Structure 1
Amino acid sequence: MRGNRIRAATKISLALALLGLVTPTVTAAAQPAQTIQTRTVVLPLSGTFDEPDAEPINITGSIRVTVITQTNPGGGGTARIVSNLRRTTGVGEETGDTYRFAGADVATRAYPPDPITPLEITPVFLKFWPPGPVLPPNPVRPVEIVVSVAGNGAITDISAEVADDAGPET
């Protein structure tokens, strides 16, 4: 009689253990999976950056922009925008001085589950004037980046242009 109870308890324990292994899998499968999408572009830059209290600077160069989106269950999500200036220089309109712009920036923005959302950022970079040290105002925001993201995380467009007036970060 005692042996039957032990066998019955063992079978019940195995059944409960198997149920415990199956239940989390069913729960996890019921939720929609998060998706991650990535897109990288190198965009040309050309234009005049007119910072406050300084001469206008004609900028040429390029910027590399990487966008990584991660969706939330139910739509929408988070976009991480990484931007790096590449060989970007400027010439002062009044003095003819040559400036170098350098740096990288990372911004994180949330986007809703709506059809398409434009995300706008102005990354922070440094401005150099050789041979001296970095001159104020620093940091500067000479570029505006616009990323279009769909509610499912699809990256539909990335653009960058020289900012009209984006002075030092406050």
Structure 2
Amino acid sequence: MPRVSVEVDGVRYDDDVEPRLLLAHHLRDRLGKVGTPIGCDTSNCGACTVLMDGLSVKSCSVLAVQADGHEITTIEGLGDGRTLHPMQRAFHEEHALQCGYCTPGMIMASLDLRRENADPSDEEIRAGLEGNLCRCTGYQNIVRAVRRAADDMRRSDQAEEAHR
């Protein structure tokens, strides 16, 4: 069995894995990262989106062996344990979730979108989240949440830069 070494939410894990084991199943079943839901196992819904080296990937379409040597961030790795990450907070404050099943993937994809574009328009947000499906919300509040978080994060970045 191949041995993988992967950093997940700041913790290094070394595990023997089956060559065909999906990253989503490794995260949930082996590492206990159950905040990453499995929606479809076909990469259509995006619920299982995580960040791999800062880029969003659908963990149901990545083998655990492909994550060897990489840094994975799950929804549980955001925030500091006491306060929500600005993107999580914006999703909460803008009521951008109903059942919540798609929310972890939406948040993780939104962080990658924000990394690429610090000030996305509504159209750019919709395009950036195209691979993440929500069956409950109608997307209006999701777009509003991403825009709010991007604004909050940009202001925070500017404040930090001004203090340097």
Coarse TM-score class (shorter-chain normalised): under 0.3
Pick the structure with more strand per residue: 1
Pick the structure with more helix per residue: 2
- TM-score, structure 1 as length reference: 0.21
- TM-score, structure 2 as length reference: 0.22
Who wins on radius of gyration, i.e. which is larger?
1
Query: Taking CA–CA contacts closer than 8 Å with sequence separation of 6 or more, which of the two structures ends up with the larger relative contact order?
Result: 2
